[in-house]
Structure 1
Amino acid sequence: MTRSEVRRRLALAWWQQLALTLAPLFVLNLLFGAGQQTGVLTMPLFIAGVASMFVSLPLFSTYKRALVATEKALDTPDEHDAWLELARVRRTAFLGAGLPAWIAAFAVFAGLEAIPLILLALSSVVLLYLYRIPRQLG
């Protein structure tokens, strides 16, 4: 597999992860978000969603190390293994980046309002954006 094919697959995986991260929030909000109930858990769930962004800190540093290792391995016999390791590390980091949106999807049942839901979804999008493959790589 050529380097451009690997980059294309990783880009496609990013878009798929973006859809998988935001889809539960949109679907649950569409189905169950019409009620105007105000739950006791709304503020704790919002705080948990914001705090879950910090899960990405160690995952991002691991991802950056994998990026550097992949860049060093370009045009060497270890390039294939470096791309595989980068993809593995990135899949794990995607889970941490999706946590705020998934907590927001759960918070729909507690009656979390639209603005906090949007903020949590945007925080997941921003965190996922950090895990795009830079153009300089390859």
Structure 2
Amino acid sequence: MSRSEQRDGLTRVWWTWLALCVLPWILLSSLDVNLGLPAIAIFITGLFALFPSLKAFSAFKRALFAMQERDRAGEKARWANLQRTQLLGLYWATLPAWLAALGSISGLGGVACLLLIFGSLMTLLLYRIPRQVL
């Protein structure tokens, strides 16, 4: 595969994870079910869930810098490493939004849910593949 096809594939993965970040909250917020979980504990867990994404971002950044090398020998391994680190980072970035979806059916307020979702969205922006990776 060419570099542009690889990049387009990683961009599609990013957009898919963006949808996976927001859709659970949209779908679950309309339910009128209370799981009985403590809402403040879910919110605090969601806030702390933002921090593992920062460690994953440093690995993603190193993988992006490795893509600047132009030797063909290890290019396939570099793309695989970039995809793996992006997926790991996207998982950690969407975790607070998933907790917001869980919190919305446990009685967590709308503002607290939106804070967690916007935190996830801002973190997701870190894992976009820049145009320079061609």
Structure 1-normalised TM-score? 0.88
Shift in CA distance, 130/56, structure 1 to aligned 2, threshold 3 Å: same
CA distance in 2, matches of 1:11, 1:134: 9
Unpaired segments ≥5 residues, structure 1: none
1:90-129 matches, within 5 Å, as 90-129=86-125
Match of 2:80 in 1: 84
Q: For the residues of structure 1 that align with 2:81 and 2:37, how far apart are their CA atoms?
A: 43
Q: CA deviation at 1:76?
A: 2.5
Runs of at least 4 residues off by over 3 Å:
none
CA RMSD across the alignment: 1.7
Q: Secondary structure at the match of 1:112?
A: coil
Deviation at 1:71, TM superposition (A): 1.7
Can you give the 5+ residue segments of structure 2 that lack an aligned partner in the other structure?
Answer: none
For residues 102 and 5 of structure 1, what CA distance do their matches in structure 2 show? Answer: 30
CA distance in 1, matches of 2:30, 2:19: 16
Which string of whole-angstrom CA distances, capped at 9 and with x for unpartnered residues, describes residues 3-41 of structure 1? 111111111110001111221111100223xx7x7x771
Residue of structure 2 in register with 1:56 after alignment: 53
Q: Percent identity?
A: 40
| Aligned length in residues | 133
